[in-house]
Amino acid sequence: MKTILCDSYEEMSKAGALIIADQLKAKPDSVLGFATGSTPVGMYTELAKMNKNGEMDFSKVTTFNLDEYYPIDPKNQQSYRYFMNENLFNKINIDISKTFVPEGYSSDSTAACKKYEKMIKDAGGIDLQVLGIGVNGHIGFNEPAKNLKASTHVTDLTESTIEANSRFFASREDVPRQAITMGIGTILKSKKIILLITGENKSKALNDLLGDDIITDNPATFLKVHNDVTLICDKEAYYGRDNTQER
Ligand code: GLP
């Protein structure tokens, strides 16, 4: 795993955007995997800026998002579809019909999962997947558990994730209890992966990534079996509370 240690969130956001820019230079019709959460927002702002300046072209790009709440209306401001439109898609020259988010509105969630997995395959697979990480090590909505799922599936959110994500909703009760998420296998099939980690509260999850163990209680540790993962993090996440610590 390659690590890019940054001095600030701005530096992290730029580092991530530059990797995506390089990807699009090498392959203008790339299939990109995107993540939600607050961490990638700065990088999306940077991508929009680069697109506006003519440094990046998204016209041939296809995207697949990692996950979506279930059930949720895509028009709901807390849906990940709404988030992506607001934070990125409406600001760049992408063909919106080539941007995909799991169908959190489907009445048949199992069919929606199967369809999503097939769509990714039919698009030729994901060239570059962007990931954030939960405080508990979740990637997408692959929560810590004894058994993890390989493919896109419906999952129950853990109490800690419901609590963490309740900051975006009017109340804790409004947070959907389930989500559709790419599985660990779906993520690991991506050709390249970048994982953005910011803040001291993620340092425990990051620490597990730096060791050798693969732990189902920290799903992100499965990324160790992939041969092209770049970790982009700030010092708070990397060193935790004691930022004098040697690594
Ligand atoms: C959400 C998303 C994840 C994201 C995580 C961290 O639950 N499903 O894809 O990585 O939260 O979010 P944040 O970046 O806001 O800490």
pLDDT tens-digit readout, 109-159: 999 999 999 999 999 999 999 999 999 999 999 999 999 999 999 999 999
| Nearest-atom index, ligand 1, CA of 181 | 8
Q: What is the spatial distance between Cα 11 and Cα 188, in angstroms, rounded to a whole number?
A: 26
Average pLDDT of the segment spanning 145-174: 94
**What pLDDT is attached to residue 243?**
57
The mean of the pLDDT values for the chain is: 96
Out of 13, 72, 79, 133, give the residue to mutate to test ligand 1, the one with the largest number of ligand atoms within 8 Å of its CB. 133
pLDDT at 82: 98
How much is the pTM? 0.96
pLDDT of residue 246: 58
- The predicted model gives 89-112 an average pLDDT of 98
Give residue 246 CA to ligand 1 midpoint distance, Å. 28
How far is residue 167 from each of residues 123, 162, 246, measured CA to CA in Å?
A: 35, 9, 34
- The yes-or-no answer on residue 67 being catalytic is yes
29 C-alpha to ligand 1 centroid (Å): 27
Q: Give the Å distance between the CA of 95 and the centre of ligand 1.
A: 25
Confidence of residue 55 (pLDDT cuts 50, 70, 90): very high
Ligand 1 pocket: which of 39, 65, 200 to mutate (most atoms within 8 A of CB): 39
What percentage of the chain carries pLDDT values higher than 90? 94
Average pLDDT over residues 21-39: 98
Q: Which parts of the chain are beta strand (E)?
A: 2-6, 31-34, 62-65, 67-70, 99-100, 128-131, 153-156, 178-181, 192-197, 229-234
138 is catalytic: yes
Residues 6+ apart with CB under 8 A from 14: 43, 46
218 carries an active-site annotation = no
Q: What value does the mean pLDDT take over residues 82-105?
A: 98
Structure tokens at 227: 């041969």
pLDDT band at residue 247 under the 50/70/90 scheme = low
Phi and psi, residue 67, nearest 5°: -160, 170
Question: In percent, how much of the chain has pLDDT > 70?
Answer: 97
In angstroms, what is the span from residue 55 Cα to ligand 1's centroid? 28
Domain 2-200+213-235 sits in CATH at: 3.40.50.1360
pLDDT digits (tens, 9 = 90+) for 213-224: 999 999 999 999
Going by pLDDT thresholds of 50, 70 and 90, the confidence category of residue 210 is very high
